Each structure stands twice: as structure tokens, then as C-alpha cells.
Amino acid sequence: MKAAVAVATDIPFLDLVAQHAPLKEEIVRLISETLDSAAFVGGAQVASFEKEFAGFVGAAHAVGVSNGTDALRLALHGMGIGHGDRVVTVPNTFIATTEAISQVGAKFDFVDVDADTCLMDPNRLESFLRDRFDKGPASQRPRAIVPVHLYGHCVDMDPIVGLAAKYELLVLEDAAQAHGARYKGRGAGTLGHAAAFSFYAAKNLGACGEAGAVTTANAALAEKIRILREHGQNVKYYHPLEGYNARLDAMQAGILRIKLRGLEQWNASRREIAAFYDSAFASIDSVRPVKVRAGNVSCYHLYVIHVPRRDALQVHLKAKGIGTGLHYPLPLHLQECYASLQYSAGDFPNAESSASTLLSLPMFPELGIERARRVVDAIASFRE
Ligand SMILES: Cc1ncc(COP(=O)(O)O)c(C=O)c1O
């Protein structure tokens, strides 16, 4: 389930109209100029956005693509992951993570998340890898790891990168929710071999439509992804590879350039709201915010709490006009589309228990402390 876009409540879960209001004139001018130039795909806007976004992330290269799922797909394909390969990730993520793995022809395995952070647990990853490399047949060994920086909190990457080096695995960060998140001083999107970002409208940096990007330090990989996004052609109608139609359109790139200028400030506002929520919930026993480990500067794409009687609390908040979300209500291993993989309830207990206790609260830069206080008061008044 994706983050719900603005709903008609007193305190919406997310308010994109408020975000775009001060930018509207500039965005309308950009659309008008794009119509006049008729340069709709690729071109200068895309090249400039790629340069600016790479600078923001701290990566050597950014390649703009059509959406975050394609960013994952093209990055995996570009890294040479395909038929016969296995990739390890987590069950607590949006389905795009596993769709991309399956759709390049590979198979995925899951390791459970940490109960406090709800992110990939490096200890579980270590035992999974030890098992697969020490005991299992070679065909069961993964070639890549996809840690997901969910909610805008970075996964504990140092041990994961260490394990990847030990077992000679590739690391693709799913940074779809992590624009501007930092881990030990380094940006999400610079912590593995490549990273995939989504600019879905509800993201911290969102297009007015669909867009995504791959970041990497590897020039050859960036070049391969540029070719893959354009039907595998390097010269018009000459195709060294079979690729995809996964181009970033110029209008979205132009809009993203306008919005990128505000991103640092928007993330700072999100952090202020998160700090307020954190201190307020410290005195409400039943509320346990998802933990952000030391060394992280989150970009708080979402602010997520664990609560008992989550569904009843969600109904209570809705009755008070407060929008909330669930990220995610059913872990991937229990999804109907993966029934043939024969996972069962109990396979990944932390992901499963999180799915029934997690609640995402209103979190967007324009929310403000006063409305956040009303959210806290409404939660404090919940008695079932
Ligand atoms: C964790 C995660 N991965 C991947 C994606 C896919 O991005 P997109 O919707 O742009 O294809 C999303 C977006 O919803 C996401 O949240």
C-alpha cells in the first residue's frame, strides 16, 4: 500500500496541495516553457536534474528513470542480476522491492527485520548467509542484498557492507523513502554499489506524476543504466542491449529541480515534528515509536509508532478527523501473489508482529507543531 495522498480530514495524513501552493507559479511556468520547447523526454532538464540530485545525495552519478520500481529493476539488471540468481531482502517493505527482483528473472529470499527498527537485521542476515554459504548448494547462494531504508531511516549498513565484501555480494539500497537520510555522516544512496530512489508524488521529493533515479559511484554502471532506460540503445536505433522504456520525462525533471531546492528545509521541518512526537510519546506508555539507531539522521518519510489495539486507535483517530496510514499491513511473504512460495505465518515473526501494531501518523513539512500536538492529544485520549 502506498502512502495515502491528501484526504479531506482536519489533519490529513499528507497534504501535497499545501506543499505545491508556494511553488505553483514556478511549476506552471515550467510546464508552459516545456510545451513551448516540445522537449518532453530527456534533454537538458533531465541532465541538470541528474547532476543536482547526485550532488544532493553525495553520489558520483544519478540516472533519472521513470519511477522507483524501474530504478530497482534497471539497477539489478545493470549489475548483472538475472535468471538463476538469488537476492536477499526483507518482508517489511513495499512490494516494488520484490517485484523488481522477480521481474529481472531472479528469486528473492527474506531475512526478518529487527523488532525495534523494523529494518533489515544484520545479525539475521549474517546467520542466513553463513547457512547458505557453509551448508547449502551453490544454487541457493545469493548474489546481492537489497536493504530497504524504510520510513527514511537508514539500515545499519556497515555490517551489511562488511558481509557483502566477505561473501562477494552486490548491495543495492532501496532508498525509495530515504531522500536526504544520512548514516554515519554519509548519504543514503552512497552506501552500497547502487541505490534506487522513487519520486512518487508522496515521497519527500515527489514529482507531479512518476519518476525515479539510480545513484552509484560506478561510471560504467551508470552508463549501462542510461542505455537500459532507453531501449538498450546507445545510438538511435542501434541496440547493444535489450532494454526498457524507462526514461524520465523532462517536465517531471524540471519540477523535481524546483522542488529539490526546498528538500533540505522540508526534511528539517519533518525532523522537528519527529522530535516533538518523540518527546510527547516518551510519557505515553502504550506508544513505542519505531527506533532510529544512533548514527542515523532520518529524513522521516514516515513517522511510525507501535501501539497495541492499533486498528481501534486508527478508527478513533479517524473519528477525530486525523488521517493515518499502515506501512505495511501484510508482510510480503504472506501476500497472496507469493502463495506458491509456501511461506507460513511465523516465518518472520518481527515483520509479522510489526504489521499488526504499526501505525503511521501525519508527517509532512507543513504539518506544524500545533497540529502534531493535536495528534498526540487524540492518541492520549484513546481509551477503548
Ligand atoms: C520502499 C519502496 N521501494 C520501492 C518503491 C517503488 O517506487 P515507485 O512507486 O516510484 O515505483 C517504493 C514506492 O512506493 C517504496 O516505498
User: Helix/strand/coil (H, E, C) string of 86-127?
Assistant: EEEECCCCCCHHHHHHHHCCCEEEECCECCCCCCECHHHHHH
In this predicted structure, what is the pLDDT of residue 136? 84
Cα→Cα distances 206→212, 259, 269, Å: 9, 8, 16
Task: Enumerate residues 6+ apart whose C-beta is below 8 A from 274.
Answer: 298, 300, 303, 363
Instruction: Please state the separation of Cα 169 from the chain's center in Å.
Output: 21
Residue nearest (by alpha carbon) to ligand 1 atom 7: 68
Cα→Cα distances 202→37, 192, 343, Å: 28, 25, 31
Report if pTM > 0.95.
Answer: yes
Place of cell 519527500: 204
For residues 203 and 196, the answer to whether their CB atoms sit within 8 Å is: no
Q: Which three cell numbers stand for residue 129?
A: 548467509
Cα→Cα distances 342→105, 109, 215, 298, 359, Å: 19, 12, 34, 35, 28
- Spell out which residues line ligand 1, taking CB within 6 angstroms: 2, 67-69, 93-94, 96-97, 148, 174, 176-177, 198, 200, 212
**CA-199 nearest atom, ligand 1:** 10
> In 3-state terms, what secondary structure has residue 289?
strand
In this predicted structure, what is the pLDDT of residue 269? 98
Compute the distance from residue 313 Cα to the ligand 1 centre, in Å: 27
Compute the distance from residue 198 Cα to the ligand 1 centre, in Å: 6
Cα→Cα distances 236→207, 239, 240, Å: 28, 8, 11
- Best residue among 73, 150, 172, 177 to mutate for probing ligand 1, ranked by most atoms within 8 Å of CB: 177
Q: Is the dihedral of CA 180, 182, 185, 191 positive or negative?
A: negative
Compute the distance from residue 282 Cα to the ligand 1 centre, in Å: 31
Compute the distance from residue 303 Cα to the ligand 1 centre, in Å: 17
Instruction: Please state the separation of Cα 152 from the chain's center in Å.
Output: 7
Cα→Cα distances 247→47, 54, 253, Å: 12, 17, 11
Compute the distance from residue 201 Cα to the ligand 1 centre, in Å: 11
Compute the distance from residue 135 Cα to the ligand 1 centre, in Å: 34
Rounded Cα gap, residues 38 and 32, in angstroms: 10
* In 330-370, beta strands by DSSP E: 358-361
**Helices 250-281 and 24-37, packing angle to 10 deg:** 160
Mean pLDDT for each consecutive 10-residue tract of the chain (384 residues)? Answer: 53 97 98 94 94 98 98 98 98 98 98 98 98 94 98 98 98 98 98 98 98 98 98 97 97 98 98 98 96 96 97 97 98 98 98 97 98 98 84
- Best residue among 198, 214, 301 to mutate for probing ligand 1, ranked by most atoms within 8 Å of CB: 198
**CA-67 nearest atom, ligand 1:** 10
In this predicted structure, what is the pLDDT of residue 6? 46
- Best residue among 1, 94, 328 to mutate for probing ligand 1, ranked by most atoms within 8 Å of CB: 94
Task: Sheet containing 303-306: give its strands across.
Answer: 288-289, 303-306, 358-361
**CA-2 nearest atom, ligand 1:** 14
- ω into residue 328 within 30 of 0, thus cis? yes
Compute the distance from residue 159 Cα to the ligand 1 centre, in Å: 25
Compute the distance from residue 74 Cα to the ligand 1 centre, in Å: 14
Residue 61 amino acid letter: H
**Helices 219-228 and 68-78, packing angle to 10 deg:** 120
